[in-house]
Amino acid sequence: MDPFMQAALGEARLGLAEGGIPIGSVIVHDGRIIGRGHNRRVQQGSAIRHGEMDAFENAGRQPARVYREAVLYTTLSPCAMCSGAILLYGIPRVVIGENRTFLGEEALLRERGVQLDVLQDAECIRLMEDFIATRPELWHEDIGE
């Protein structure tokens, strides 16, 4: 597995270990991680702290050029909110661990010129399937159902 997707998966596992939702993300610029995060909605009582949003927050304030040259890795297909942030900051490429358990706004991202690489990684799929089976109420809350 790609080391950056491995880092995103590590973030997802950390979120699960903290009692949260197992979705992780990293933002990579010039071959190094500049921001990493995981879904912290439960841990922080947050309405918006998805894995990608947490990675953006942890990357901090960057020159626009940095985000326009970055790659975002996420274990799960980005929702509307996270896709909006990807578009807002001009991230040109997103590597997605899987989109079988949840299909986010991939069509919008592609329409706006974002390159998407969907891996259908077995580990990412298994992590989400197990979580959804054991915590369906929390999962549905997270995706707004």
Adjacent-strand bridge partners of 111: none
105 is catalytic: no
Both structure tokens of 37: 């995060």
One of 11, 18, 52, 137 is an active-site residue; which one?
A: 52
How far apart CA 63 and CA 84 sit, in angstroms, is 18
Give me the helix-helix angle, 51-59 and 3-17, nearest 10°.
Answer: 110
Look-up: residue for tokens 């610029």? 29
Active site residues: 52
